[in-house]
Amino acid sequence: MSVPTSRTATDIIVPVYNQYSFTRNLIESIYRHTDVPFHIYLIDNASTDETVDLHKVYTRNITVVHNQKNKGWCGGINQGVELGENPNVVFMNNDVEVSTAWLGNLVGFLNTHPRIGAVGPLNSNPNDLQFIDRIRKKYVPQIPDFMTDDLHERNRILKYHFEKAGIMIEGMLSFFCVAMKRRTVNEIGPLDENYVTGGDDEDYCRRLRKAGFVLGLSLETYVIHHSSLIAKTIFESTVDNDVLKRKRARLK
């Protein structure tokens, strides 16, 4: 299968298990708002709902893989990495919605320095480390207090204030949406598939830092992330209590 190969071309890897409506919303937003070459690898972990027919609905810039058994989120991501060949990769949850230029922003910041190992967006979810109110309070007080909840209007405002701007962060990135160079992933290695109920992002960020990479946030990029740490994962497995406690401690 032919896929884009430019410097900004990106493989977007999305493991899914059921949650058909979330997945369709994500795919539609990617098609509508992605400004650089991309290819989606949708890894279906043995879904039982309409997800199994998505390959009939979407055929442009997408490969849908139907696994016979649930490999989990980490297993699905690793499978997508093996299938792809573009110079950049994005690990993504299916419960995300994106807006104009989201991918170009992330990849653009990623390419500003060879030691930036991973870049994430700001987001809407108070249970995530990149929750925009938390970043405003902790790192960037210049982020405006929005008078609108509209995803696209918020992105227009952020672009006005922070075009091509980003920051380095301490700690870790949450992997609901994270961009990395393929050569970085090849250097660090695959996600640890022993993490089946959370903790994989913390582990991988630790490995990135140990290898000398830094982590970044694109200040002009805002996405909606629907899920909650206390909800079930997309693989119908409750988040590990120890992982949940560590994440909640970092959110304070």
Q: What is the CATH number of the domain that holds 136?
A: 3.90.550.10
Determine, yes or no, domain membership for 192.
yes
**Beta-carbon contacts of residue 83 (< 8 Å; ≥ 6 apart):** 11, 41, 63, 65
Determine, yes or no, domain membership for 4.
no
Q: Give me the pLDDT at residue 196, please.
A: 78
Q: Give me the pLDDT at residue 231, please.
A: 39
Q: Give me the pLDDT at residue 171, please.
A: 87
Q: Give me the pLDDT at residue 22, please.
A: 95
Antiparallel, parallel or unpaired: β 214-225 and 116-123: parallel
Round to whole Å and give the CA distance between 205 and 215: 8
User: What total of structural domains would you count in the chain?
Assistant: 1
Determine, yes or no, domain membership for 3.
no
Determine, yes or no, domain membership for 134.
yes
Q: What are 63's two structure tokens?
A: 């490969």
Determine, yes or no, domain membership for 2.
no
Q: Give me the pLDDT at residue 63, please.
A: 97
Round to whole Å and give the CA distance between 188 and 52: 32
The residues facing 66 across adjacent strands are 44
Report the run of H or E that residue 96 belongs to, with start and end. Answer: strand 96-97
Q: What is the mean pLDDT of each run of 10 residues along the chain (252 residues)?
A: 70 96 96 97 96 93 96 96 97 96 97 96 94 96 96 97 95 95 98 87 96 98 78 47 49 46
Identify the three-state secondary structure at position 10.
strand
Determine, yes or no, domain membership for 155.
yes
Q: Give me the pLDDT at residue 17, please.
A: 94
Antiparallel, parallel or unpaired: β 96-97 and 166-169: unpaired
Residue pair 109/121 in contact (Cβ under 8 Å)? The answer is: no
**Beta-carbon contacts of residue 97 (< 8 Å; ≥ 6 apart):** 25, 26, 29, 151, 223, 224, 226
Domain that holds residue 137: 10-251
Determine, yes or no, domain membership for 206.
yes
Round to whole Å and give the CA distance between 97 and 23: 10
**Amino acid at position 17, single letter:** Y
Round to whole Å and give the CA distance between 13 and 94: 10
Q: What are 202's two structure tokens?
A: 């913390």
Q: What are 167's two structure tokens?
A: 């920051």
Determine, yes or no, domain membership for 122.
yes
Q: Give me the pLDDT at residue 6, please.
A: 83
